[in-house]
Amino acid sequence: MQFIHISIVGEMASMSSLFVFILLFQVFQIKAQIKNVALSKPTNQRSTLEGGVSSRAVDGNTNGVYNGGSCTHTRQGSPSWWCIDLQQVFNNININIYNRKNNQGRIRGFEIKLRSDDQCNEQGFRSATSCYIDTPPTVQDVYTIDRCNQQPSRSLSARTVFISVTGILTLCEVEIYTAQIKNVALSKPTNQRSTLEGGVSSRAVDGNTNGVYNGGSCTHTRQGSPSWWCIDLQQVFNNININIYNRKNNQGRIRGFEIKLRSDDQCNEQGFRSATSCYIDTPPTVQDVYTIDRCNQQPSRSLSARTVFISVTGILTLCEVEIYTGCDMRSVI
């Protein structure tokens, strides 16, 4: 009996070791997927002084000594801004801002603004959406921002990121991290309640975000109460993020839209009627791109589903629907 007892303990120890090994392997695998998507990307800033060009903030060098040649520098501005075009939309990004070693207080009270397009310029700054304000103002060597604290933004999802401050802006490095995630909606089966003007449901998952209807990449329903569009992801995904690309004209049609979820493949009228409400655009807004990363309706708490419905009273037009799934950055950083 002793031999048997020893054998069982040994097996349990081996299994425990194997479990720890697998867990560590998964963690390292997740971390290996995390990438600084800001590195060497196109940048711009409102002005430049003392050779502190905007590209210094994405050169991979976090040296905070200005004479080291790796920090940006603007003139006095109200505000002064710096921006980066990430060249594609990323979801759930984390931003690290490396401050300079001296004159650290200049960045106090900075603001982060976001855009879903490539307008990394003065015009883009003025119409960008405020996401985060350093309030109350702080002085830190490195600022880490992993979520917005301003409405209507809820998450750090963007293509173009602005950092601004009143006065002189100096950045010694800006790192933007994201997990390598997959658009699981691309080319998946879709359906909608009705079709008008050739705006078939599959256009919303063709990979083309062009918002001009005549470009041939937007859906179009008839008037409905409500009109709905749906996608079958062909398996259940947890903690998904949804980007909805609006059309360029008649943008207000989608105001007040609703997202409903199912765990099965009922992408049809019957499925819509019994699906669970997850998110309502309330108060109704008009945006170029809507980013939804969590439900705001009970009893749903998270965006976990196989079939996703988007509906609105009236005509529904979607120019692209992206559904991403991947790592929660806050769980690995």
CATH 2.60.120.260 fits 43-178, yes or no: yes
pLDDT for the residue numbered 314 = 97
Q: How far apart are CA 103 and CA 126, in angstroms?
A: 27
Predicted confidence at residue 180, as pLDDT, reads 57
CA atoms within 13 A on the CB side of 255: 8
Closest CA to 160 of 9, 297, 6, 41: 41
Distance CA 190, CA 202 (A): 6
Q: Which residues of the chain have pLDDT under 70?
A: 1-34, 179-181, 326-333
In whole angstroms, give the CA distance from residue 310 to residue 303.
13
Where do the domains of the chain lie? 43-178, 182-330
- Angstrom distance (rounded) from CA 145 to CA 163: 12
**Which pLDDT score, from 0 to 100, does residue 179 have?**
63
Instruction: Evaluate whether 43-178 and 182-330 have a shared fold.
Output: yes
pLDDT on residue 107: 97
Return the half-sphere exposure (C-beta side, CA atoms, 13 A cut-off) of residue 170: 25
In whole angstroms, what is the distance from residue 152 CA to residue 171 CA?
A: 26
Token look-up 């997202």 returns 259
DSSP state of 198: T
Pick the closest to residue 264 from 249, 275, 250, 253 (CA basis). 275
Provide the pLDDT for residue 327: 42
Residues 81-114: tens digit of each pLDDT = 999 999 988 877 889 999 999 999 999 999 999 9
DSSP for residue 127 = H
Instruction: Show the DSSP H helices in the chain as ranges.
Output: 2-33, 122-127, 269-274
Output the pLDDT for position 26: 43
Looking at domain 182-330, its CATH superfamily turns out to be Galactose-binding domain-like (2.60.120.260)
Whole-number pLDDT of residue 267:
98
* pTM of the predicted protein model: 0.54
